[in-house]
Amino acid sequence: MDYKITNAYCKRVWDEISTRYADQGHFLQAAGLVLETIQPVVAKMPELEKNAVLERLVEPERIIMFRVPWTDDKGKPHVNRGFRVQFNSAIGPYKGGLRFSPEVGLDVLKFLGFEQVLKNSLTTLPMGGGKGGSDFDAHGKSDAEVMRFCQSFITELYRHIGADTDVPAGDKGVGGREVAYMFGQYKRITNQYTGVLTGKGLTFGGSLARTEATGYGLVYFVQRMLEMKGQTLEGKTAIISGDGNVAQYAAEKLIQLGAKPLTLSDSTGYIYDEEGIDQKKLNFVKKFRAAHKKIDEYVKKYPKAKFYKGQKPWGVKADLALPCATQDEIYLEDAKKLVANKIALVAEGANMPTRAEAIEFFQKNGVIFAPGKASNAGGVAVSGLEMSQNSERLSWSFEEVDNKLKDIMINIHDNCYDTAKKYATEGDYVAGANIAGFVKVATAMVAQGLV
């Protein structure tokens, strides 16, 4: 996509990275959208160019790459690649998830880490941005194999992380099981019991509401978006992609607030329940999902619903669309379907699930669009709250954490909305989120000097 970058400084940096990283399409989309939208504030801050802030912003402070050797249950050795991209620590220790999935490589992790810098800035919590993971695929692996892999992975990574240095969390392919294995190995190697990983179990330093946080936070953000239009979630219909934690708990909070989820999906296709997915049906989804079964289990239990093999749910008519699966879910042709069906609002629960040309199409056609760095920040926000609880040796109640989460999401929304009104177009959440997140990080970078 051709980005409308006319500011001389932004254009120079864009030309440099688009040539240098021509093979990193995901990273370039993330960086291009940011450079395009922050131009109004860059033009008003000449100190940025004097201090090479943009050049530093688009380059990670450190990239760690390593091999991860492990043996399967038959004693056969395997070797995967491990990564940690420590992108920016201007406002706090690096913070961001670990992803175990075959698509993991520098392109994906750099885009995720870059987005994480601005996302963490928006939470107002003192967290820098980073991301990491491995091309390991846990599907079909035994618990013992996953444990050996996680122990090998953290045996190398442990020397680069710490409670005040870099605090990883879970992400795609890394849930409570994997975090627990890594935390146990970290503790064993270092002889320290610290909050070095978040997303831990409740019995050893985890936070209540962390599992629900991204999905709940997404809906709190959507609720606030609708309030700005004088509307509520009551009676609204929603199409959701994904069937993992984010999708499940987004659906749960929609149900609690009077909305009706219609779809869920996985890599095999999507289910459409015209009657709506209620809490009883959602509990069934949680049960079969925990057993690693596919989404078509739903129609076996509820035959009035339909399963569409190999398809995405974006052709279903609804009021709201919440992409909650992974990156690159909504392309231009999907956006055209959604607009034709008069979708009112799209909010990202996953990281960059919407392609740049689809975002542009939504905005040109009056669809309110929320980027993931703002709308899905609830997960990392509660990870930050877990860090606080670990540091203070405290444990807050579910209600305390949930209330703090809601306040953070409302504050993120209002910051994005007000910033867009000041620098760009009122209601442009993409520009608002990028500028608001950027200004805090850039100001801190200037203050700290050329480091």
Which residues belong to the active site? 131
**Edge to edge, what strands does the sheet with 269-272 contain?**
263-266, 269-272, 306-309
The span from the CA of 188 to the CA of 191, in Å, is 6
Between strands 237-241 and 260-261, the pairing is parallel
3-state secondary structure of 265: strand
Which residue pairs from 277-281 have beta carbons closer than 8 angstroms and sit at least 24 positions apart in sequence? 277/251, 279/252, 279/255
CA–CA distance, 124 with 144 (Å, rounded to integer): 39
Cβ distance 45 to 442 under 8 Å? yes
Of the candidates 65, 97, 90, the one whose C-alpha atom is nearest the C-alpha of residue 80 is 65
- Cβ atoms of residues 95 and 199 within 8 Å: no
Nearest to 203 by CA among 179, 231, 236: 179
Rounded Cα gap, residues 332 and 322, in angstroms: 16
Distance of CA 317 to the CA centre of its chain: 25
Here the tokens at position 115 are: 């987005």
Q: Any idea what the Cα angle at residue 383 is, between residues 377 and 385, rounded to 5°?
A: 105
**What count of other Cβ atoms lies within 10 Å of the Cβ of residue 43?**
15
Query: 342 CB contacts (<8 Å, ≥6 apart)?
Result: 317
| Coil/strand/helix, residue 284 | helix
Among the listed residues 448, 445, 442, the one whose alpha carbon sits nearest the alpha carbon of residue 45 = 442
The alpha-helical segments, DSSP class H, found in 125-196 are 143-157, 176-190
Angstrom distance (rounded) from CA 407 to CA 213? 12
Q: Where does 160-208 have alpha helices with state H?
A: 176-190
Greatest CA span in the chain, whole angstroms? Answer: 64
Residue of 162, 171, 168 lying closest to 108 (CA atoms): 171
For residues 431 and 118, is the Cβ–Cβ distance under 8 A? no
Measure the CA–CA gap between 12 and 30, rounded to whole angstroms: 17
